[in-house]
Amino acid sequence: MDGSGANSASNGNVARWNPTKEQVSILEGLYGQGSRTPTADQIQRIASRLRAYEGKNVFYWFQNHKARQRQKEKELQQQHGCLGFSYLNRRCLYFHNSDAPAMAPGLVNHPAPCHSSPKGMSL
Amino acid sequence: MDGSGANSASNGNVARWNPTKEQVSILEGLYGQGSRTPTADQIQRIASRLRAYEGKNVFYWFQNHKARQRQKEKELQQQHGCLGFSYLNRRCLYFHNSDAPAMAPGLVNHPAPCHSSPKGMSL
DNA sequence: CATATATGAATGAACG
DNA sequence: CGTTCATTCATATATG
For B35-74, write each residue's pLDDT tens digit.
989 998 999 889 988 877 778 888 888 898 899 988 887 7
pLDDT value at position B39?
92
Describe chain B by its helix, strand, coil percentages, rounded to 5.
Answer: 40, 0, 60
Give the whole-angstrom CA distance, residue B113 versus residue B59. 22
Give the whole-angstrom CA distance, residue A52 versus residue A46. 8
Residue B71 dihedral angles phi and psi, to the nearest 5°: -60, -45
Question: Is A58 in contact with A36 (CB distance < 8 Å)?
Answer: no
Measure, in angstroms, how far nucleotide C1 C1' is from residue A18 CA: 24
What does R_g of chain B's alpha carbons equal in angstroms?
A: 18
Sign of CA dihedral A89, A95, A101, A105: negative
Strand D close to A4 by CB, under 7 A: no
- Residue B39, helix vs strand vs coil: coil
- Residue B96: list chain A partners with CB under 8 A: 41
Q: How far is CA A31 from the centre of its chain?
A: 14
The tens digit of pLDDT for each residue in A81-97 reads 434 333 333 333 334 33
Say yes or no: B64 contacts chain A, CB-CB below 8 A. no
A87 or A17: which leads in pLDDT: A17
Measure, in angstroms, how far nucleotide C9 C1' is from residue B54 CA: 27
User: CB B118 to CB A95 under 8 A?
Assistant: yes
Question: Is A62 in contact with A47 (CB distance < 8 Å)?
Answer: no
- Residue A111: list chain B partners with CB under 8 A: 53-54, 56
User: In chain B, what percentage of residues exceed pLDDT 90?
Assistant: 13
